[in-house]
């Protein structure tokens, strides 16, 4: 039995967040989003740079949902955009080879992966691009809405490659530990990329990740997630970690696949 689940709404409520319709045409969708997340609406035409009533705005437009911090010195918006230049560049990187090797693609193609900590879905997209079928689980309601928007945008894209990749991705709203047996049954690999607390005063955190630390917490139940994952009937569990971070739950992996910026702790439970 896992530890009691943390409430996503409690995380969201630690920040003051409001929903903004980008234009009058987006007002209906913004209202529905605000109701789904139990968040207030702010006035159309609000400038995030000048707004002080909320720390973060969830900007709803016809194209996408964007998470934007308020204030003049705030970084740019965070979106789920699978077809942008950064993602196209990343799919050509050596990191993908490490990720594919970690989940077992050198042994078998078309692996079914359960991404139990989907976040912005970037690793899930890379895995789907490598040929895996991926079930993304996201328990934070706000991030889930952003993921759903990004997947929908990709599915309706004119880009044939983008549409083909997201067809191998499915999204589940809730904690992975709440999946019923029939949903878990299809998974061959469980992938975990938990948030982690920064260590030391010199740790440099991307502004995007700093916001997500506030929104999602710092992975306080990461150990429990690994213990749960290792109890499931899957071939392996893969945990993404910073290079020098401790192993989750003190569990020694079967082997480690390490790069310069990230490592993957691989727990082999049976053959693929």
Query: Quick one: 218 and 120 in the same domain?
Result: yes
Query: Quick one: 52 and 116 in the same domain?
Result: no
pLDDT band at 183 (very low <50, low <70, confident <90, very high): confident
Residue 75 lies in a domain: no
The domain tally of the chain equals 2
pLDDT band at 1 (very low <50, low <70, confident <90, very high): very low
What's the average model confidence in pLDDT over 3-18? Answer: 58
Tokens 């993957």 map to which residue? Answer: 264
Residue 77 lies in a domain: no
Residue 200 confidence (pLDDT) above 70: no
- For residue 37, give its domain range: 8-69
Query: Quick one: 206 and 128 in the same domain?
Result: yes
Query: Quick one: 56 and 159 in the same domain?
Result: no
Query: Quick one: 155 and 197 in the same domain?
Result: yes
> How much of the chain, in percent, has pLDDT values that exceed 70?
88
Residue 97 lies in a domain: yes
State residue 241's pLDDT score: 95
State residue 135's pLDDT score: 96
State residue 207's pLDDT score: 66
Query: Quick one: 65 and 152 in the same domain?
Result: no
What's the average model confidence in pLDDT over 161-168? Answer: 96
Query: pTM of the prediction?
Result: 0.89
Query: Quick one: 119 and 156 in the same domain?
Result: yes
What's the average model confidence in pLDDT over 105-131? Answer: 95
Query: Quick one: 25 and 138 in the same domain?
Result: no
Residue 99 sits in a domain of what CATH number? 3.40.50.150
State residue 223's pLDDT score: 95
Q: For the chain, how long is the longest CA-to-CA vector? A: 56
**pLDDT tens digits, residue range 119-153?**
999 999 999 999 999 999 999 999 999 999 999 99
State residue 94's pLDDT score: 61
* Sequential DSSP letters for 104-160: TTTT-SS-EEEETT-TTSHHHHHHHHTT-EEEEEE--HHHHHHHHHHHHHHHT-S-H
State residue 219's pLDDT score: 63
Query: Quick one: 197 and 120 in the same domain?
Result: yes
Residue 62 lies in a domain: yes
Query: Quick one: 101 and 41 in the same domain?
Result: no
Residue 78 lies in a domain: no
Residue 201 confidence (pLDDT) above 60: no
Residue 93 confidence (pLDDT) above 90: no
User: Could you say which of 43, 69, 95 is where a domain stops?
Assistant: 69
Residue 238 lies in a domain: yes
Residue 41 confidence (pLDDT) above 60: yes
- Beta strand 56-60 with 65-69 is antiparallel
State residue 89's pLDDT score: 77
Query: Quick one: 61 and 186 in the same domain?
Result: no
Residue 80 lies in a domain: no
Residue 79 lies in a domain: no
Residue 2 confidence (pLDDT) above 60: no
Query: Quick one: 49 and 137 in the same domain?
Result: no
pLDDT band at 217 (very low <50, low <70, confident <90, very high): low
């Amino acid at each position: 039995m896992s530890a009691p689940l943390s409430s996503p709404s409690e995380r969201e409520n630690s920040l003051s967040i409001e929903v903004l319709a980008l234009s009058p045409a987006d007002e209906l969708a913004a209202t529905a989003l605000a109701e789904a997340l139990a968040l207030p609406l702010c006035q159309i035409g609000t400038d995030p740079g000048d707004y002080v009533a909320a720390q973060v705005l969830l900007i709803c437009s016809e194209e996408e949902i964007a998470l934007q911090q308020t204030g003049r010195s705030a970084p740019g918006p965070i979106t789920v955009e699978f077809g942008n230049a950064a993602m196209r560049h990343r799919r050509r990187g050596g990191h993908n080879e490490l990720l594919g090797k970690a989940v077992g693609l050198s042994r078998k193609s078309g692996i079914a992966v359960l991404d139990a900590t989907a976040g912005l879905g970037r690793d899930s997209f890379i895995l789907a691009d490598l040929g895996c079928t991926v079930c993304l689980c996201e328990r934070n309601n706000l991030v889930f809405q952003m993921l759903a928007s990004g997947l929908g945008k990709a599915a309706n894209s004119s880009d044939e490659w983008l549409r083909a990749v997201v067809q191998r991705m499915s999204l589940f709203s809730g904690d992975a530990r709440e999946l019923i047996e029939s949903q878990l049954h299809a998974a061959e690999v469980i992938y975990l990329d938990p948030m982690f607390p920064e260590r030391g005063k010199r740790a440099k955190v991307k502004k995007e990740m700093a916001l997500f630390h506030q929104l999602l917490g710092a992975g306080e139940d990461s150990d429990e997630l690994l213990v749960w994952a290792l109890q499931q009937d899957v071939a392996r569990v893969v945990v993404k970690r910073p290079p020098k971070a401790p192993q989750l739950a003190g569990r020694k992996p079967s082997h480690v696949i390490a790069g310069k910026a990230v490592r993957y702790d691989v727990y082999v439970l049976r053959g693929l």
